[in-house]
Structure 1
Amino acid sequence: MRRARRLVVLAALVALTACSAPQTSMVPASRSLVFGTLVSPADRSADEARGGVSAAMVELSWEQAEPAEGTFDDRYLRSVRADVDTLRATGRTVTLGLGLHHAPDWVLALPGGRFVDEHGDPSEEANLVFARRSRHAAEQYLAHIAAVLDPSLVHDVRLTSGGVAEVLYPGGGHYWAFDDNAQGGADLPASMPPNPLPGWRPGQPGPDESQVREWADWYVGALDDVVVWQISTLSALGFTGGYEVLTPGVGVRPGEYATAIRDRLPAGLLGAGAAWQVFYQRLPRRPDLTVYVSSVADGSGGDDVCRAEDRDVPVDSSAVEGWSAVRWQARLAAEYGYSLSGENPGWRQSPALDRSYVDLTDSGMMAAALAQARGCGFRSFYWAHAEQLWDGTVPFEVYAARIAGA
């Protein structure tokens, strides 16, 4: 059910936009663009490296690493460490997925361990946004990971909301700030400002528009807080690499955000917290943070690429409403001083995306993704996932040829 709910969120984020054909980029392509794969198999690392894929990614699983509180499966963790060593031995950098969204059942059973929506229904995902005790459990897990894996071996870490695989709340169109702590309980993390409208639920009368906006900004801003908490935790554990902040799709852009607030936050995509202009404006300005578009070539905006004049378009302009996810998030990265990276939608997301995924022509997903990565000045691009490059879905040789510019 967790995967099903995530696919509902992604389907909304990826909603195809009927727009004009992609424009020719007027932004110089990055000369240092790095190519990678997601969940990179160690036994194929030498082949991927020879094909120009110099970045690898390893994904952890919290439930596998710590099946019971305080009990760690070090055999599993040593196998992950062995994969990291193999990948690095072939000359590749390693990006680490923390696997917090694969939370063990004992974490979900903690007081406040699940999100609660406006109807009082609990989530299937772990609540690391509003529950200090859950964050403390995650901190113990991350400390043990750091002791086994050695932070110096990792080039980048992928940051999410903790309970979900990207910086999102659970899906379903609901709002997920109605557990006891989110409503003002004692276990709210100290870094989180209090709920500005405790007791109020989206859609209800009462607060004026400015108050609804304050609540919506607080709700989205809580995702900033959980990201900053992960950075602080990892930094204290000795990690000195970069942070990729995973934000999918176009989200709820400024005009849509204003409409949602005027309408007292009806059920919809904003429940997932995906208002990227609000999120990135509130995120600390750090040179080690990367806006990571986890939906490159998702069909939005006709998969258009960035243009030099985009920097002159205000982020609250109606002109951005038709842009692709990549172009829109590139504009936000430029506005707030972050680098830019990303990955394409993975296999089995939707029938339309799957058709694009296996289309190896210049009209397919791979060609569009690499055009956006090059045309928008990406720092790195990862193909999702390595498995599909080696099981025949899309031949690895095609990716290697596209990387080489053939």
Structure 2
Amino acid sequence: MRSARRRRAPARSLAVLLALVASCGAAPTAPTAPAPRADPAWGVVDSTCAPERLAARVPGVDVAVVEAHWDRLEPQPGVTDPGYAEGLRATVTRCVDAGVRVVLGSGLQYPPGWVRALPGAEIRDQAGRTPTTGAVDTVFSAAVAAAADDHLRRLVAAVPLDGLVGIRVGTSTAGELGHPGPEASGAAFDSWWAFGDAPQHGVGLAPGQVSSPMPDWVPGQRTWQGRAVTPDDARGWFTWYSGALVRAVADRARSLREAGYRGPVHVPAAGRGVLPADLDAAVGVVLDTAVRDGALRRGLDYVGDLPALAAAVPGAVVDVTGLDDATAVRARRLDPPQDRCAPGDAEALVAGAPSLDDWPNQRVTVAAAARAGLPTVGENPGPPGPTTGGVADSDSEADQVRYGVEYARVCGLSAFLLAFEDDLYTGRSGITPDDYLTAIRR
């Protein structure tokens, strides 16, 4: 554990966060070492802003993630549920009135049932399968994109904007960046989710998107339209597939700006994406391979795409959703340990340092964000369970509090968001507000 350090005022931490976000429109740079920063802002995920919890909140914990639900705000097309909208406004207002800044989850991962019937809403993989997770095509379908943009306008109208320090925007059913993962089809590491009419042939294609550079080509096939497929062809296809995620987020961010929101846009990023050496190997066999965690099929190329995100979405913030996940536990046990961010990580990432395979997800993603000039926030995975990122070999929730706070500091994050508020106040994971307070005062 790091030696004790003086605790800084939370207001200063938030000021640092907002100042960092304001500088995001500048050209990306590759810093040689993290710039000195104040302590991160401290917060909680899935906050209810309940009066009794606000009254008992941990001193210095002044950020709350409040999750909205698209299916509740707009249960019928074009119809805002006034009761839900008022409840959401009241929730945000309670936090703001108590001096707690709010990061609002957009709720795009909870589409109403009527959205599934829109043209092109079904996602299809190369075998014609549709996801078993209920995912809809928020990336390529023009009809779904229009509905999502309308939802964001309703959301912005429903809440007080002056209390928000972020709105989260993702593309997956987990609310994170990415195409559906291997669990969506039951065929592990097998599905590429870009084989509907919109992505392949431009029929009903969302604004800002482009159709496949090789229509009907399936990764792994050695020929296309009578000619051999080269590694350059495969790289171009993957760049299109991965870049579509950034284009979708940029389109949602544009809608937020048009609706009057001017604050940071948080983009939750799971895992570590595809390492440059792994992507090189994959395109060398024309994508006829898989990468751990399904990153290749999910289209997660943080090294390649975060600079594009920085350029396309001024005010973007990368949310590392697995701070102190199981990969950090394993990296911490190595000799020497590899779990901590270090000066020079951004350069090592693109230079293909031999140790990269030992780096945990958080270290890779933070380095990729630093290389792109993007600020980062982070949250721990939470206890093992079907609705969290915790797995059997994760740290306990108590250890996630301790290590998550430590990693937030050493990695230079702008904020640490503890997952989840219920864990603090219900005792379901064996942690208490005092555990969080002790960790941030170390």
TM range (shorter): 0.7 to 0.9
Q: Distance in 1 between matches of 2:99 and 2:115?
A: 37
Residues 266 and 318 in structure 2, CA contact (< 8 A), matched pair in contact too? yes
Taking structure 1 as the reference length, what is the TM-score of the superposition? 0.87
1:323–1:199 CA distance, 2 compared to 1 (3 A): same
1:165–1:155 CA distance, 2 compared to 1 (3 A): same
Where 1:183 maps in the other structure, the secondary structure is helix
Residues 212 and 264 in structure 1, CA contact (< 8 A), matched pair in contact too? yes
Q: Does 1:352 align with 2:374?
A: no
Q: Does 1:138 align with 2:160?
A: no
Q: Does 1:338 align with 2:374?
A: yes
Q: Distance in 2 between matches of 1:93 and 1:223?
A: 28
Q: Does 1:395 align with 2:432?
A: yes
Q: Alignment partner for residue 292 of structure 1, among 319, 324, 334?
A: 319
1:242, CA displacement in angstroms?
0.7
Residues 289 and 338 in structure 1, CA contact (< 8 A), matched pair in contact too? yes
Q: Alignment partner for residue 193 of structure 1, among 200, 210, 232?
A: 210
Q: Does 1:377 align with 2:412?
A: yes
Residues 49 and 90 in structure 1, CA contact (< 8 A), matched pair in contact too? no
Q: Distance in 2 between matches of 1:312 and 1:98?
A: 34
Q: Does 1:202 align with 2:219?
A: yes
1:300, CA displacement in angstroms?
1.9
Q: Distance in 1 between matches of 2:392 and 2:206?
A: 41
Query: Mean alpha-carbon deviation: is it higher for 96-105 or for 305-314?
Result: 305-314
Q: Which runs of 4+ in 1 moved over 6 A?
A: none
Letter in 1 for 2:315: D
Q: Does 1:322 align with 2:361?
A: no
1:27, CA displacement in angstroms?
5.7
Q: Does 1:102 align with 2:119?
A: no
What is the match of residue 248 of structure 1?
270
1:371, CA displacement in angstroms?
1.4
1:50, CA displacement in angstroms?
4.2
Residues 116 and 178 in structure 1, CA contact (< 8 A), matched pair in contact too? yes
Q: Distance in 2 between matches of 1:273 and 1:29?
A: 33
1:399, CA displacement in angstroms?
1.0
Q: Distance in 2 between matches of 1:184 and 1:48?
A: 55
Q: Distance in 2 between matches of 1:147 and 1:28?
A: 37
Letter in 2 for 1:107: V
Residues 81 and 149 in structure 1, CA contact (< 8 A), matched pair in contact too? yes
**Counterpart mapping for 1:259-274 below 5 A:** 259-266=281-288, 268=290, 269=294, 270-274=296-300
What is the match of residue 278 of structure 1?
304
> Over aligned residues, Cα RMSD in angstroms?
1.9
Q: Distance in 1 between matches of 2:302 and 2:80?
A: 36
1:318, CA displacement in angstroms?
3.3
Q: Distance in 1 between matches of 2:288 and 2:88?
A: 43
Q: Deviations over 1:341-372 (max 9, x none)?
A: 11111222454245x133x3xxx222221111
What is the match of residue 40 of structure 1?
47
Where 1:157 maps in the other structure, the secondary structure is strand
1:403, CA displacement in angstroms?
1.4
Where 2:392 maps in the other structure, the secondary structure is helix
Q: Does 1:218 align with 2:244?
A: no
Q: Distance in 2 between matches of 1:240 and 1:49?
A: 28
Letter in 1 for 2:150: Q
Q: Alignment partner for residue 309 of structure 1, among 338, 344, 348?
A: 344
Q: Distance in 1 between matches of 2:365 and 2:284?
A: 24
Q: Distance in 2 between matches of 1:232 and 1:299?
A: 35
What is the match of residue 14 of structure 1?
none
Q: Distance in 2 between matches of 1:353 and 1:37?
A: 23
Where 2:108 maps in the other structure, the secondary structure is coil
Q: Alignment partner for residue 154 of structure 1, among 155, 164, 167?
A: 164
Query: Mean alpha-carbon deviation: is it higher for 301-310 or for 269-278?
Result: 301-310
1:366–1:266 CA distance, 2 compared to 1 (3 A): farther
Residues 62 and 99 in structure 1, CA contact (< 8 A), matched pair in contact too? yes
Letter in 1 for 2:141: A
Letter in 1 for 2:38: R
What is the match of residue 179 of structure 1?
196
Where 2:318 maps in the other structure, the secondary structure is strand
Residues 202 and 210 in structure 2, CA contact (< 8 A), matched pair in contact too? no
Letter in 1 for 2:392: A
1:28, CA displacement in angstroms?
7.0
Where 1:35 maps in the other structure, the secondary structure is strand
Residues 172 and 180 in structure 2, CA contact (< 8 A), matched pair in contact too? no
Q: Deviations over 1:255-306 (max 9, x none)?
A: 1111222222246411111221122132233652212111101132515111
Q: Deviations over 1:296-355 (max 9, x none)?
A: 01132515111123244252413433222222122112211111111111222454245x
Q: Distance in 2 between matches of 1:167 and 1:239?
A: 21
Query: Mean alpha-carbon deviation: is it higher for 129-138 or for 296-305?
Result: 296-305
Letter in 1 for 2:147: A
Taking structure 2 as the reference length, what is the TM-score of the superposition? 0.80
Q: Distance in 2 between matches of 1:357 and 1:29?
A: 30
Q: Distance in 2 between matches of 1:80 and 1:314?
A: 41
1:28–1:189 CA distance, 2 compared to 1 (3 A): closer
Where 2:198 maps in the other structure, the secondary structure is coil
